[in-house]
Amino acid sequence: MQKVKLKFPEHFLWGTASSAYQTEGNNINADWWAWENSEKRKNFVKNRRPNPEQYISGEATDFFSRFEEDFSIARHLNHNAIRFGLEWSRIEPEEGRFDQSAINIYEKMLQSAKANGLQIFLTLHHFTLPLWLAKKGGFSKKENIIYFLRYSEMVARRFSDYVDFWLTFNEPEVYATHSYLLGIFPPQNKSFIKALRVVNNIITAHNLTAPQIKAQTGKPVSVAFHLSDLQPSGPLGGLVRSLSHYLANEYILRRTVKTCDFIGINYYEHFHIGVFGKRITSRTGHEFTDLNWSIHPEGLERVLLNLKKYNKPIYITENGLADEQDLKREKFIKDHLFFIHRAIKQGVDVRGYLYWSLTDNFEWQHGFWPRFGLVEIDRENSLKRKVRYSALKYAEICKENLLEYEIK
């Protein structure tokens, strides 16, 4: 074993990421809320899942009321940055009607984050839609892009004094495939053509919105891209891997990078690509999260090196694991930071790391049981916050801007 001390660049940002719908609670005007509470969904959950109430977001973590408490926790854990989002359906619950009371609370939220010394990454769209827009077809219809432009212009104008980094969309590739190709998220379509249309409309929406926000606020704008480490497997593996990599990691990025001031990376997954593009999870030499996702920090270095060609600053806008017992989280964070540091030493301009997430939250179709948080949410005790041991170890790294690491 060799112990090393790895210093990160000056002004490196340390913190966490979350989304509005997964934490705020009671977003009753969102398409997800309608879907969760539909009889079809309730019957599916009731017949196939233990504890069906765990699959309804309800009050979530009550972040909309308890943001000051959560930001204070982040400050005491030595974080200097945080990513969270706006829930469009709360801001515009009906077409053309902007809810000033909700907007005022979001302004207080942003003020509170700044008062706690946190630089803010603000996400405008993170998988959910206002129900009225979903009924119009959402991003499956090009004519609906104008609604996103109107919403973005309003919030950029109102919140320009507080936001340090803007993210127009979170993981558009995941949103399109899960909602319109695989049928996992609402509206549960299974159409390649419709999924591709959604992707292209989101690309257009970002490319129109980003310059508008930059002109209004003078602050950097990007997308939080879901990028995976894909490696070849079997005959013709290299060719199939190249095609899969292009579709999964490059298609959206190449079409939006000119209007991105930085590149946001959400990194979770490593796969081997088999025949016909099938993703194979290697069972050899890997640990796994509670969601059975392979833990492969080496892949993040490869992802980062592949992005060097774009010559843009990079922020890790999500990276985390489900680990209810908090047995793997400290090592997970340190291992990923080690490979981030290796990429930095090779000239990749990485400027920040945001762990997913500050608190446990509602993990979409998986419900509440996967526990990603540095801070536990005790759902049996009024959503009490309990700081996990791994959070304290991450806090030491954040404070010193330094990773102490054992190399085997």
- Distance (Å, whole) CA 88 – CA 69: 23
371: left (phi over 0), alpha (psi -120 to 50) or beta: beta
Residue with tokens 């049928």: 183
Q: What is the CATH number of the domain that holds 15?
A: 3.20.20.80
User: What's the number of domains the chain is made of?
Assistant: 1
Query: For 221-264, where are the alpha helices, taking DSSP H only?
Result: 237-245, 251-256
* The pLDDT value given to residue 360: 98
Handedness of CA 358, 359, 360, 362 (dihedral sign): negative
What CA–CA distances, in Å, run from 355 to 54, 83, 359?
A: 23, 10, 10
Predicted pLDDT at 266: 98
Strands 350-356 and 314-318: parallel
Per-residue pLDDT at 281: 65
pLDDT, residue 48, reads 73
- State whether the Cα torsion 359-364-366-368 is positive or negative: positive
pLDDT digits (tens), the chain, 408 positions: 899 999 999 999 999 999 999 999 999 999 999 999 999 888 888 877 778 888 999 999 999 999 999 999 999 999 999 999 999 999 999 999 999 999 999 999 999 999 999 999 999 999 999 999 999 999 999 999 999 999 999 999 999 999 999 999 999 999 999 999 999 999 999 999 999 999 999 999 999 999 999 999 999 999 999 999 877 776 666 777 777 777 788 999 999 999 999 999 999 988 777 665 566 666 556 799 999 999 999 999 999 999 999 999 999 999 999 999 999 999 999 999 999 999 999 999 999 999 999 999 999 999 999 999 999 999 999 999 999 999 999 999 999 999 999 998
User: Among positive and negative, which fits the CA dihedral 204, 210, 215, 217?
Assistant: positive
What is Dmax (Cα atoms) for the chain?
61
Provide the residue range defining the domain that includes 95: 2-407
pLDDT at 241: 72
Residue 159: Cβ within 10 Å count? 20
What pLDDT is stored for residue 52 in this prediction?
83
